[in-house]
């Protein structure tokens, strides 16, 4: 049975990445014990350079390594790797760091690296002028009676430090100095001199800095360093998406990890900070760039502290300008910062220049504007702003933007934070801004409408405006994927709108959609039926809309005939109204209802004109009516046109994502998953399933959640990820609406049944028949019913019930006989071939071959390959091992390309059986003997059979629900009892044990 372990997304603590990507400014000192660091990800080329330099160091060469890059890019982490590798080779490693400090102690980084190592130095160090060195290193002071502040001539001091480094270089010295963009003038002067006259000993000088802020003298000196080997410069760029995915392993889904990667810009620190912020109220992008400062308190204290380290060393004027810019948001101008800060233009320009020098902000190309280095930097500074100052600052920003003629969308961000209740100007600004973004960012529109409603006074005079705003809010919430909030808002409005049919009827239609998504099919249907008689013109656009929604409600509720009837009436009205997008949607609905009922001819007659209308629609038209693509794509899937279905699903998904149409994503993704699985693109199907789960879990719809989780479970069984399948399946059961009625619920039940069987739980598969309406499968549509019958045939065969399997197979043939679709008929023939394989291999061969050909023609790649496996087994049983091997190899190739691991392993196991039997002579048709492996215990027999199927110990342990050590113990016993020493020999022994004995030939 599927274990009940719920799916979990990323936790807010950052998971693994929190340890692999320490925050900038609070990074642990890299002088750590050898081997303590975790593996460095995504820097293979850089590590190769480190190894080459250490090899040359062992040969006695002095070298210089420069490591540069943006803040948080991983310079310190790379230096830690250098330190680890150097220690492993026996070199002395000294590590220092330049820090922000009030007085900037002279030679700070050098002292940090070397001073502790010098503690205990005595006078026996020939060649070292300890009194001179004591003027720099505190640990040497007082040893010879000289004062700590003895003045030493500069060049002499630098010479002595160079001599000291040479003395320490035995067998070699790696001196690492980090964060040199903060270095004091004395350190820079010493480094320039050292690079000009490096020690003539094996010393590797590794210097790290932020290249935008490093002193120009130091940059020039590094390039001109007079070492035997030319200086090596490693400029660290962003991590690749693959490398980031390794760091994010186990954190959320692949689609959420991709979103994190894009937002982090490949920077490890930003990636870590975003993970730490997960679940803290960060806005979800809906087509517009997120405002990281829109939600207070979203960043954890550790992240804020790291990001604020640079800010705190700005001058007071610089800090004021930075806070003002954080309030304004990206991009900002010096003039706007001046207004918000209340400072004059010249001092503000100097303060912004200071921010740019500190690399907190950067100029926007080809403009006079600036932007923060990253949104997280802005967010951290924004959170440091005193709330009492923040509100007036937003008000000043809003006024400045208004005076400059900035778009309403730029003003709205500030108005919602600065306005007070009763400010009608602010309400109007927010309302108009929401109208501007509603088409492409409905979630942002909903937020601004909610802000406007808070400002609107609770007075009779404002009641009409409040009703209008609530209606727009309900539509925005629904489109953005919040059906419950949308429905609740609409319920409050339907009574006040009773005398306003122009607005009430669209509200009723949309409310019915929300009810349907919340599995309240009866409520939505009744709402529509009660409203329809109030429409005066039966051929109006309003009538067409209500009848179309009645058709959708009936079809998704499990009544395709009623859905088709209502859709036909809607089509007449839609044609009369001349509304092309609605007409396309209605035609698609009719085609879907016909397709799942088996009326292929009628489905095609309605689908073809629907496709022409859809392909002729502009993206804006489709964005307003995305359900046209839903119904047309689904009908193409049912009519076995996978290429066209995928094209339409992909187009609609692109538009829906770009324009924040979250509401329509689950049905589009579900259809796409079914198509991708059929054509053998399981990796893409897996990505789509993850995205479907991400969207559905936020939707508030149990039906959508259960369906998405069931699809994810289903795809995971095909790829062989049974752990994921088990978790997703258990979560789907938890979210399944009760009672589980409707078309989508029935489809989800079918997916779960497939997963049970794939994981060896044939009884769990059979038990789900009750949820599909019992043996008659009354809740399943005609199209899905054939797949059910084929699945149940396999389940009964797995249980060893041949007669029951034959009954299900005959039911599949009967259901497909009048269906008129080659793919469905092929699936039914496959069911019958499997039922006959053990007793009538010749008949099974004919049926399996015909099934393979039929499904190949309809693009059902994986199912056709499954039929090829049955054909291969039948060829072997009929005494033709060469034909069997060819069929099985072809099927295995398909499974390998598709990523269907369990099916590929099964095909390989069948190949091995055929090869072994061929080596023992022709195999005649036979019945399988009971007691296949009489010398083994029951559990040992199970392990041996699974080994012969090509499964690893880990897979066997998962399938049998035992520890991997237990499997190893049983397998050792099998080796002993069979007298073999390899898994291949076990497989051969199992096959020989299955060979018919003399009594079986009859």
Per residue in 849-890, pLDDT (tens digit) is 999 999 999 999 999 999 999 999 999 999 899 999 999 999
For the residues 287-293, what does the mean pLDDT come to?
Answer: 36
* Structure confidence at residue 177 (pLDDT): 94
* Structure confidence at residue 106 (pLDDT): 85
* Structure confidence at residue 66 (pLDDT): 92
Q: Is the model more confident about 280 or about 662?
A: 662
Task: Specify which residues 96 forms β-bridges with.
Answer: 177
Q: Are 637 and 645 in contact (CB under 8 A)?
A: yes
Q: How far is CA 59 from CA 92, 200, 206, 850, in A?
A: 15, 13, 17, 71
Q: Are 788 and 752 in contact (CB under 8 A)?
A: no
Highest mean pLDDT among 279-283, 598-602, 939-943: 598-602
For the residues 279-305, what does the mean pLDDT come to?
Answer: 48
pLDDT at 4 over 80: no
Q: Give the tokens for residue 983.
A: 């898994």
Q: Are strands 370-372 and 361-363 parallel, antiparallel or unpaired?
A: antiparallel
User: Which DSSP letter does residue 774 get?
Assistant: G
Q: Are 489 and 449 in contact (CB under 8 A)?
A: no
Report angle CA 495, 490, 505 to the nearest 5 degrees: 70
Task: Specify which residues 208 forms β-bridges with.
Answer: 67
* Structure confidence at residue 23 (pLDDT): 34
Residue 741 pLDDT class (50, 70, 90 cuts): low
- C-alpha 853/C-alpha 833 separation (Å) is 14
- Pinpoint the alpha helices (H) of 480-539: 483-494, 501-517, 521-531
Task: Specify which residues 97 forms β-bridges with.
Answer: 178
The gap between the terminal CA atoms of the chain, to the nearest Å, is 40
Q: Scanning the structure block, which residue is given the tokens 């998962």? A: 958
* Structure confidence at residue 125 (pLDDT): 63
Give Cα 180 distance to the centre of its chain: 37
Q: Give the tokens for residue 472.
A: 């727009």
Q: Are 557 and 743 in contact (CB under 8 A)?
A: yes
pLDDT at 922 over 80: no
Least-confidence region, from 41-45, 451-455, 735-739? 735-739
Phi, psi values for residue 806, rounded to 5°: -65, -35
Residues with Cβ within 8 Å of 549's Cβ and at least 6 positions away in sequence, in order, are 509, 512, 513, 524, 528
Residue 994 pLDDT class (50, 70, 90 cuts): low
Q: Are 96 and 76 in contact (CB under 8 A)?
A: no
* Structure confidence at residue 157 (pLDDT): 87
Report angle CA 872, 878, 883 to the nearest 5 degrees: 40
Q: Is the model more confident about 17 or about 511?
A: 511
Least-confidence region, from 243-247, 703-707, 947-951? 947-951
Residue 27 pLDDT class (50, 70, 90 cuts): very low
* Structure confidence at residue 541 (pLDDT): 87
User: Which DSSP letter does residue 291 get?
Assistant: -
Share of the chain above pLDDT 70, in %: 87
Q: Are 206 and 234 in contact (CB under 8 A)?
A: no
Reduced to 3 states, what is the DSSP secondary structure of residue 613?
helix
Phi, psi values for residue 880, rounded to 5°: -125, 80
User: Which DSSP letter does residue 499 get?
Assistant: T
Report angle CA 661, 667, 669 to the nearest 5 degrees: 85
Q: Give the tokens for residue 429.
A: 């600004």
Question: Where are the strands (E) in 354-416, listed by range?
Answer: 361-363, 370-372
Q: Give the tokens for residue 317.
A: 């004027």
Q: Does the pTM exceed 0.75? A: no
pLDDT at 952 over 80: no
- C-alpha 725/C-alpha 901 separation (Å) is 14
Least-confidence region, from 103-112, 365-374, 524-533, 975-984? 975-984
pLDDT at 931 over 70: no
Q: Scanning the structure block, which residue is given the tokens 């160090």? A: 125
Residue 995 pLDDT class (50, 70, 90 cuts): very low
Report angle CA 858, 861, 864 to the nearest 5 degrees: 85
- C-alpha 452/C-alpha 456 separation (Å) is 6
pLDDT at 296 over 50: no
pLDDT in tens, 795-830: 999 888 999 999 999 999 999 987 878 999 999 999
- C-alpha 598/C-alpha 601 separation (Å) is 9
- C-alpha 514/C-alpha 505 separation (Å) is 14
With 0-12 / 13-18 / 19 or more C-beta atoms within 10 angstroms meaning exposed / middle / buried, residue 106 is middle
Residue 325 pLDDT class (50, 70, 90 cuts): very high
For the residues 754-760, what does the mean pLDDT come to?
Answer: 87
pLDDT at 8 over 70: no
Specify the DSSP element, H or E, that contains 630: helix 627-638
Reduced to 3 states, what is the DSSP secondary structure of residue 482?
coil
For the residues 467-488, what does the mean pLDDT come to?
Answer: 92
* Structure confidence at residue 837 (pLDDT): 92
Reduced to 3 states, what is the DSSP secondary structure of residue 472?
helix
Q: How far is CA 578 from CA 291, 441, 473, in A?
A: 41, 28, 28
* Structure confidence at residue 921 (pLDDT): 52
* Structure confidence at residue 913 (pLDDT): 85
User: Which DSSP letter does residue 398 get?
Assistant: H
* Structure confidence at residue 104 (pLDDT): 63
Q: Is the model more confident about 550 or about 977?
A: 550
pLDDT in tens, 33-66: 333 446 788 899 999 999 999 999 999 888 999 9
pLDDT in tens, 575-634: 888 889 999 999 999 999 999 888 899 999 999 999 999 999 999 899 889 999 999 999
* Structure confidence at residue 991 (pLDDT): 63
Q: Could you tell me which of 905, 883, 886, 885 has the C-alpha nearest to residue 895?
A: 905
Q: Are strands 92-97 and 173-178 parallel, antiparallel or unpaired?
A: parallel
* Structure confidence at residue 441 (pLDDT): 87
pLDDT at 151 over 70: no
Question: What are the DSSP calls for 905-946, one per residue?
Answer: HHHHHHHHHHHHHHHT------PPPS-S-TTS-HHHHHHHHH
pLDDT at 278 over 50: yes
Q: How far is CA 692 from CA 255, 393, 591, 666, 704, in A?
A: 9, 41, 24, 6, 9
Residues with Cβ within 8 Å of 67's Cβ and at least 6 positions away in sequence, in order, are 75, 78, 79, 206, 207, 208, 209, 234, 236
- C-alpha 549/C-alpha 574 separation (Å) is 13
Q: Are 23 and 272 in contact (CB under 8 A)?
A: yes
For the residues 683-708, what does the mean pLDDT come to?
Answer: 86
pLDDT averaged over every residue in the chain: 83
- C-alpha 863/C-alpha 466 separation (Å) is 56
pLDDT at 740 over 60: no
* Structure confidence at residue 20 (pLDDT): 33
Q: Give the tokens for residue 167.
A: 């003395």
Q: Scanning the structure block, which residue is given the tokens 């329809």? A: 532
Q: Give the tokens for residue 16.
A: 């693994």
- C-alpha 202/C-alpha 581 separation (Å) is 76
**How many residues comprise the chain?**
1002
């Amino acid at each position: 049975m599927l274990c009940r372990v719920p799916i979990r997304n990323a936790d807010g603590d950052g998971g693994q990445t929190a340890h692999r990507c320490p925050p900038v400014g609070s990074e642990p000192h890299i002088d750590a014990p050898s081997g303590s660091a975790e593996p460095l990800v995504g820097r293979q080329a850089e590590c190769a350079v480190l190894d080459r330099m250490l090899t040359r160091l062992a040969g006695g060469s002095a070298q210089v390594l420069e490591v540069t890059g943006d803040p948080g890019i991983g310079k310190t982490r790379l230096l830690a790797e250098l330190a680890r590798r150097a220690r492993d080779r026996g070199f002395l490693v000294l590590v220092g760091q330049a820090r922000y400090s009030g007085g900037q102690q002279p030679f700070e980084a050098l002292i940090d690296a070397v001073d502790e190592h010098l503690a205990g130095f005595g006078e026996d160090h020939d060649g070292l002028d300890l009194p001179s060195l004591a003027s720099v290193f505190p640990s040497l002071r007082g040893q010879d009676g000289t004062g700590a502040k003895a003045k030493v001539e500069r060049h002499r001091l630098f010479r002595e430090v160079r001599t000291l480094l040479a003395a320490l270089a035995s067998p070699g010295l790696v001196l690492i100095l980090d964060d040199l963009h903060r270095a004091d003038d004395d350190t820079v002067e010493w480094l320039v001199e050292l690079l000009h006259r490096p020690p003539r000993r094996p010393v590797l000088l590794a210097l790290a800095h932020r290249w935008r802020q490093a002193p120009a003298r130091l940059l020039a000196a590094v390039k001109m360093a007079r070492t035997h080997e030319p200086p090596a410069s490693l400029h660290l760029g962003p991590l690749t998406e693959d490398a980031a995915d390794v760091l994010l392993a186990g954190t959320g889904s692949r689609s959420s990890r991709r979103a994190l990667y894009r937002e982090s810009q490949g920077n490890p620190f930003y990636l870590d900070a975003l993970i730490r912020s997960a679940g803290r109220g960060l806005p979800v992008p809906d087509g517009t760039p997120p405002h990281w400062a829109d939600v207070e308190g979203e960043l954890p204290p550790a992240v804020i502290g790291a990001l604020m380290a640079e800010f705190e060393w700005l001058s007071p004027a610089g800090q004021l300008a930075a806070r003002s810019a954080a309030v304004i948001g990206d991009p900002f101008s010096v003039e706007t910062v001046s207004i918000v800060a209340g400072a004059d233009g010249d001092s503000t320009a100097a303060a912004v220049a200071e921010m740019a020098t500190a690399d907190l902000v950067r100029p926007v190309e080809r403009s006079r504007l600036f932007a923060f280095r990253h949104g997280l930097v802005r967010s951290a500074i924004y959170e440091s702003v005193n709330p009492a100052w923040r509100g007036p600052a937003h008000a000043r920003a809003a006024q400045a933007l208004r005076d400059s003629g900035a778009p309403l969308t730029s003003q709205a961000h500030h108005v919602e934070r600065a306005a007070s209740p009763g400010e009608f100007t602010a309400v109007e600004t927010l309302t108009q801004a929401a109208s501007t973004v509603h088409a492409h960012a409905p979630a942002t529109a909903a937020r601004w409408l909610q802000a406007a409603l808070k400002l609107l006074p609770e007075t009779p005079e404002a009641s009409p405006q409040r009703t209008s705003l609530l209606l727009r809010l309900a539509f925005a919430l629904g489109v953005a994927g919040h059906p419950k909030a949308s429905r609740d808002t609409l319920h409050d409005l339907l009574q006040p709108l009773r005398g306003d049919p122009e607005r009430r009827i669209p509200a009723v239609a949309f409310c019915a959609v929300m009810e349907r998504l919340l599995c309240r099919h009866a409520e939505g249907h009744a709402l529509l039926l009660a409203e329809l008689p109030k429409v005066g013109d039966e051929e109006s656009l309003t009538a067409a809309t209500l009848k179309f929604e009645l058709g959708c409600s009936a079809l998704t509720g499990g009544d395709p005939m009623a859905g088709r009837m209502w859709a036909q009436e809607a089509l007449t009205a839609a044609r009369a109204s001349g509304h092309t997008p609605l007409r396309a949607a209605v035609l698609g609905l009719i085609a879907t209802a016909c397709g799942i009922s088996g009326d292929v001819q009628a489905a095609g007659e309605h689908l073809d004109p629907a496709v022409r209308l859809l392909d002729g629609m502009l993206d804006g038209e489709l964005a307003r009516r995305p359900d046209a693509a839903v119904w047309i794509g689904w009908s193409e899937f049912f009519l076995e046109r996978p290429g066209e279905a995928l094209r339409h699903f992909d187009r609609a998904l692109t538009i829906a994502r770009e324009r924040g149409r979250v509401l329509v994503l689950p049905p589009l993704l579900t259809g796409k998953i079914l198509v991708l699985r059929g054509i053998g693109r399981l990796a893409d199907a897996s990505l789509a399933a993850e995205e479907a789960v991400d969207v559905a879990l936020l939707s508030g719809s149990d039906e959508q959640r259960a369906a998405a989780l069931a699809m994810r479970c289903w795809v995971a069984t095909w790829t062989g990820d049974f752990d994921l399948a088990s978790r997703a399946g258990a979560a789907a059961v938890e979210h399944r609406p009760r009672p589980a009625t409707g078309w989508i619920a029935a489809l989800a039940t079918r997916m779960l049944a497939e997963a049970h069987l794939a994981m060896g739980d044939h009884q769990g598969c059979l038990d789900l028949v009750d949820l599909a309406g019992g043996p008659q499968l009354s809740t399943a549509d005609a199209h899905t019913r054939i797949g059910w019958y084929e699945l149940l045939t396999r389940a009964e065969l797995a249980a060893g019930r041949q007669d029951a399997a034959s009954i299900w197979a005959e039911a599949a043939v009967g259901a497909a006989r009048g269906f008129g679709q080659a793919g469905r008929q092929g699936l039914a023939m496959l069911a019958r071939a499997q039922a006959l394989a053990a007793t009538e291999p010749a008949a099974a061969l004919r049926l399996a071959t015909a099934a393979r050909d039929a499904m190949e023609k309809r693009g059902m790649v994986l199912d056709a390959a499954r039929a090829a496996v049955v054909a291969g087994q039948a060829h072997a049983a009929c005494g033709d091992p060469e034909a069997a091997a060819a069929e099985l190899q072809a099927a295995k190739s398909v499974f390998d390309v598709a990523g269907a691991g369990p099916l590929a392993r099964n095909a390989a196991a069948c190949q091995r059986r055929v090869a072994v039997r061929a080596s023992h002579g022709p195999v005649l048709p036979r019945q399988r003997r009971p007691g296949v492996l009489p010398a083994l215990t029951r559990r040992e027999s199970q392990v041996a059979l699974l080994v012969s199927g090509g499964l690893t110990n880990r897979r066997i342990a998962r399938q049998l629900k035992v520890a991997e050590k237990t499997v190893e113990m049983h397998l050792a016993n099998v080796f002993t009892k069979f007298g073999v020493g390899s898994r291949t020999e076990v497989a051969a022994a199992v096959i020989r044990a299955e060979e018919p004995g003399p009594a079986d030939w009859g």
